[in-house]
Amino acid sequence: MTSRMLELRGITRVFGTSTATQALRGVDLDVDDGEFVALTGPSGGGKSTTLNIIGLLDTASGGEYRVRGRDVSTLTGAERARMRSDWFGFIFQGFHLLDRRPVLDSVELGLVYRGVGRSERRRRAGVALERVGLGNRAHSLAGSLSGGERQRVAIARALTTGAPVLIADEPTGNLDSANARQVVDALTEVHSAGTTVILVTHDADVAAVADRRVHLRDGRVEDGADGTPTSSASATAAIGCPPGRPSKVKLRDLLRDAGASISSRVGRTSGLAAAVAVAVALAVATGGISLSARAQVADTFDAHTSRDVTATWSADDESALTAQQRNPTAIATKLGEMNGVEAVGIVGSYGQATISPSPVAPDFNTNAYTMTEGAQVAGRQRITWMPRHDHTLADHDAVIGRGLAAQLELGPLAGGPQVRVDGTQVRVVGILEESPRMPELLSAVLLAPAASRWLGYRGMDTAWLLTHVGAAQVVSHQVAKSINPYQPETVAVQAPVDPSTVRAEVEGEVQATLLILTAVALLAAIVGLANAMLLSVMERRYEFGLRSALGARPAHIAGLVLVESGAVGFLGGLAGLALGLAATLAVTIARHWSPVFDLRLAPLAVVGGIMVGALGGLIAAFRAARIEPSDALRQ
């Protein structure tokens, strides 16, 4: 009984649409089991196009093509990949090896896409390399081989799968005569073992070893279309069935393949991982610095603004009060007895006064104030006192603001300088250096409350209260009634905004800024990674075309690219986590903060890196999956 393995009837192939080019014009061709067929003819005659259609690397525009009686025109992409994996091995003029990886990786690649275990793949690949005389180069980098050796590796790759049909496109085109002879001998040996061989060649000597020569010109078969059917029993027995399952890849093999791929491109992998690391590091630093800043903001508010309460009233509004109730010292004492109050100071304004450093010196106009004993603490004032002074103002003592002291050209405090205020002699016992709650005091004279007897009109009184942490709001609601229980509405009270609200606003602004920077960095990393992965896909289009020819489905190709991208993201995530922690520590140490870090950010950083990598690889994966093997492998 005879069998037609391959049957082509009226095959046409048209490229392009607007300016269509007809490469094949009704090709009829039969190939039987165990034949050695050489396709010859001038360049542009349709040889390689016919070979691509036979190997299911390309699809005919018209006609009928059957493999062992099955019409392939209705096959889906996945079905075509499975049939390629079952039936065809390929040898290309351009070799298409994994140049940065060991030779074994290139030879076993076809079996990866048949789900064959690693040990069995390695065994079969080693046997195939021994058959072509390259057993000693199994662990050498494929890129280090000579042209003849590379082509023999390609033959070993085809042998490893045990496919019934071996398709060779110009296998000796780039080789010298000696290497070409070795390749032809290898093909002859493969054919002798029962494999059907179909090759394209321009070399008459190579074509002469074939059982049949088919001559194509202008997209038509001119000679040799029909062969003599031969028995396939011996061939089938010799080559057996390909191991494994067609167009199938195991997850662990996919992961191992992706790992080998990225490790073979250290420079590119490092650059891509660095882009991810920067984005992840900024995200980690954002979290760490935000948490640390939150604690620092809380401490700052507790120590300063959130503890200050200020009350202001006019002397004219004290008519209902007794003299004792109007006394600033008595009011300060009463306010100091309130719960939550740590310190109280009252400053009374007496308008303008004249001041002179000596009876013969000209007078200066300045503002005069009185202040109670606790004003220095409550107002967070800094005063330089006379040596060995008890830091309190007696009846005829004065503290001069540093701006006014410079105008008066006072001598050193140790000498006990004296000035005249509205004609009354007073001793200067201190210089006011800082007054954050009332800066205008730096150009004024401050006297004891008893000076109210000889000062002029008393205007506004101001009470400074320094409260305990968290007590400012409660104290602010009681101050007015404590000062003037009859007319509390005449007392203006200034209390800080609820510290939790201000703290949240400050934290929110800081965090929003850092999040914006993080988002920009993440977006830049994704865009940069996507661009780099796209460039990598274009650089490796021959490799992806080869994988497709060997049985990989589009999903396998896309999965490989995504796993590689995710692995790059994983490496970048780990590096970014370390960089982010280092940045957090550096900032907090420089600012003298206590570093705060949420341990939950650690796994999130790594997962985030993987997500950035996967997102960056999506477009590249889609592009790689759409690569047509016939286009990618065309020289």
* Amino acid identity at 561: V
SS (H, E, C) 214-266: EEEECCEEEECCCCCCCCCHHHHHHHCCCCCCCCECCHHHHHHHHHHHHHCCH
Q: How far apart are CA 190 and CA 442, in angstroms?
A: 103
In angstroms, the CA 508 to CA 293 distance is 11
For residue 283, give both structure tokens.
């995200």
Q: Which residues have a Cβ under 8 Å from the Cβ of 363 and sit 6 or more positions away?
A: 354, 355, 356
Nearest to 564 by CA among 585, 539, 589, 582: 539
pLDDT of residue 318: 67
Q: Which fold has domain 4-248?
A: Rossmann fold (3.40.50)
| Residue 476 identity | S
Q: What is the pLDDT of residue 105?
A: 93
CA-to-CA distance for 208 and 201, rounded, in angstroms? 10
- In this structure, are residues 10 and 26 in contact, taking their beta carbons and an 8 Å threshold? yes
Cα separation, 594 vs 394, in Å, equals: 44
pLDDT at site 499:
57
Three-state SS sequence of 124-172: HHHHHHHHCCCHHHCCCEHHHCCHHHHHHHHHHHHHHHCCCEEEEECCC
Sequence ranges of the domains in the chain: 4-248, 266-300+502-632, 322-483
| Mean pLDDT, each 10-residue run in order, the chain (635 residues) | 78 83 90 92 89 91 92 88 90 86 93 90 92 90 90 88 89 82 87 90 90 92 65 42 77 91 88 84 78 65 71 78 81 92 94 88 91 93 92 92 92 91 93 94 94 84 90 90 89 78 65 74 78 85 89 91 91 90 86 77 84 86 88 72
pTM of structure: 0.65
Rounded Cα gap, residues 340 and 41, in angstroms: 103
DSSP state of 450: G
Instruction: Give the total residue count for the chain.
Output: 635
